[in-house]
Amino acid sequence: MEKNPEVVVGQFLQGRDVLTWADYATGEIEQLLESARRLKEQQQQGATQQTLAGRSLGMIFENASTRTRVSFEVGMTQLGGHALFLNSTDLQIGRGEPVDDTAKVLSRYVDGIMIRANDHEKVKRLAEKSEVPVINALTDWYHPCQALADMLTVQEHLDQLNGRKLVYVGDGNNVAHSVMIIAAKLGMDITLSTPEGYEGEADVWAEARAIAEQTGSKVAHVVDPREALQDADIVYTDVWVSMGVEKEADKRNKAFRRYQVNEELMSLAKKEAIFMHCLPAHRGEEVSAEVIDGPQSVVFDQAENRLHVQKAILQAVMR
């Protein structure tokens, strides 16, 4: 009898935190992708699995969200569970309660905690003190759930991940960090093209390069976006002014001016290259309308796939 792949994933990921894909083996990430693919296929066929019936997910949000909140909440509902939206300003943690105490209390009530926070160290501390799995839904350093959805999208459009060249153009932010890590884990070559000083965190670069040495992939930084896009299979960008750096808007818009992904820049990639963006997007800034709304764009597939990878993660760690 063929084993259900979701059950196999759940057997060895049960109770695990999801903070960064650096903590996961390549095979574990691949099985999560396969689980997400199966779950998406089942949903398209009108079938659902109540694998999290009776389970509850506490969702802590320190900032605004569209895709993260909706995909996690809908995902829990489709799996038979329940999601609680917890605005940090409404929790005692927003009034100074120690993270340790919040982790211990929530562990008595819910079966898993999802948190979207500004400080990655706070999320790490929450995970250390929690007795239930903690899922990082975005911090200032990482956005792992987005990166997993990105890889599912690449698989759907280009089939093979190993050996593909992904070029990320713009700001070396949390999305860039997670894409670097997961791409290296899956044997993809990744190039970040950013202005000097916007490459991202040195510790993440060192981590990504160490992973790349093990998987045989390449991780590089190229200042000139025109040079970086040569032979690219995937072109990825994000906003230039992320949450928390709004005061730097004028400086950043000037620094990133030549990094806009437009038709001219996309023409330097492979003819069959796809364009990706984690959304929300600012048309006319980091990407032109012609590209994001054009035939090479897969941004709404990425957005949809947040739901399917969220479900794969949830049932793997909470079941």
Residue 242 marked ligand-binding: yes
Known catalytic membership, residue 164: no
Residue 306 marked ligand-binding: yes
Give the active site residue among 16, 37, 55, 116.
116
Q: Which residues contact 83 (CB under 8 A, 6 or more apart)?
A: 56, 57, 59, 72, 73, 76, 77
Known catalytic membership, residue 155: no
Known catalytic membership, residue 143: yes
Give the active site residue among 278, 302, 310, 315.
278
Residue 38 marked ligand-binding: no
Which regions of the chain does DSSP assign to beta strands (E)? 56-61, 82-87, 112-116, 134-136, 165-169, 189-193, 219-221, 234-237, 274-277
Known catalytic membership, residue 238: yes
What are the angstrom distances between the C-alpha of 184 and each of 16, 173, 177, 208, 218?
21, 17, 11, 6, 7
Residue 194 marked ligand-binding: no
Which tokens is 159 given? 């089939």
Number of H helices, E strands in the chain: 13, 9
Residue 257 marked ligand-binding: no
Residue 52 marked ligand-binding: no
Residue 143 marked ligand-binding: yes
Which of 278, 273, 255 is CA-nearest to residue 263? 273
Residue 116 marked ligand-binding: yes
Residue 166 marked ligand-binding: no
Give the active site residue among 31, 78, 146, 310.
146
Give the active site residue among 37, 143, 177, 319.
143
Give the active site residue among 31, 233, 238, 260.
238
Which of 2, 11, 136 is CA-nearest to residue 68? 136
First to last CA, the chain: 22
Residue 226 marked ligand-binding: no
Q: How many Cβ atoms from other residues are within 10 Å of residue 257's Cβ?
A: 11
Residue 144 marked ligand-binding: yes
CA distance 148 to 82: 23
Eight-state DSSP code of residue 2: P
- Known binding-site residues for L-ornithine equal 174, 238, 242-243
- Known binding-site residues for carbamoyl phosphate equal 65-68, 92, 116, 143-146, 278-279, 306
- Known binding-site residues equal 65-68, 92, 116, 143-146, 174, 238, 242-243, 278-279, 306
Residues with a catalytic annotation lie at 116, 143, 146, 238, 278, 306
